[in-house]
Amino acid sequence: MRWFWIDRFTEFVSGQCAKGLKNVTMDEEVVDGYWPDYPILPSTLIIEGMAQLGGILVAEHHQFDKQVVLAKVAKASFLRPARNGDQLRYTVTLDSVQDLGATVNAVSYCDGELQAEVDLMFAFLEEGRFTDGPLFGPGDLKTMLRMMNFFSVAVDSDGKAVGDYPALRDETQ
């Protein structure tokens, strides 16, 4: 099953922020099927897109060595619907990181206007606790990141292009 709720990364600064965009199209079944005669991208899937950006931001901060999952939607407010033809521009900022998880703040802009504001909390899965295996199939995460332009835009905190990640090289994440 495809479960990509951002189209591409547009900026990525390790340990700081991730930006990405999501085009809302009638081609997506959920857009015209969620609310008959009023196509919109459901707000839950906007949260999912932000969580995908944020999850990568948090996981990359740990060199993709941790299994990061969305644990809690702390706050979410939506100021306008995301209609077919809209382009949503997400910015996710790393808020805090702890032993067991991390929090991020996310905003979505459409046509230059604030469309949504969401605070998310992620938890780190531990071996034998909640999961017995990897979250991604071999190579899947690296492939997803490449398709979403991550490696073209991602830089470290000094502005240098990110290097190779052993956890991805092993293709065991």
Partner 1 sequence: MSLSQDEIFEKVQEALVDALGVDDDEVTEEATLVGDLGAESIDFLDIVFKLEKAFSIQIPRDELSPEDILTDSNFVQDGTVTSEGVAELKARMPWANLDAFAENPRVQDFGNILTVGDLVRYVMSKTE
Interacting residues toward partner 1 by CB under 8 A? 71-72, 74, 96, 98-101, 103, 121, 123
Distance CA 13, CA 153 (A): 9
Q: How far is the CB of 17 from partner 1 (least distance, A)?
A: 18
Q: How far is the CB of 123 from partner 1 (least distance, A)?
A: 6
Q: Which is nearer to partner 1, 43 or 103 (CB)?
A: 103
Distance CA 148, CA 21 (A): 10
Q: How far is the CB of 26 from partner 1 (least distance, A)?
A: 36
Q: Which is nearer to partner 1, 101 or 139 (CB)?
A: 101
Nearest to 108 by CA among 20, 31, 16, 12: 20
Nearest to 41 by CA among 54, 53, 28, 55: 28
Q: Judge contact between 47 and 12, C-beta under 8 A.
A: no
Nearest to 6 by CA among 61, 65, 46, 37: 46
Distance CA 21, CA 122 (A): 21
Q: Which is nearer to partner 1, 71 or 144 (CB)?
A: 71
Q: How far is the CB of 141 from partner 1 (least distance, A)?
A: 24
Name the token pair of 44. 């839950």
Q: Which is nearer to partner 1, 128 or 163 (CB)?
A: 128
Q: How far is the CB of 75 from partner 1 (least distance, A)?
A: 8
Q: Which is nearer to partner 1, 57 or 154 (CB)?
A: 57
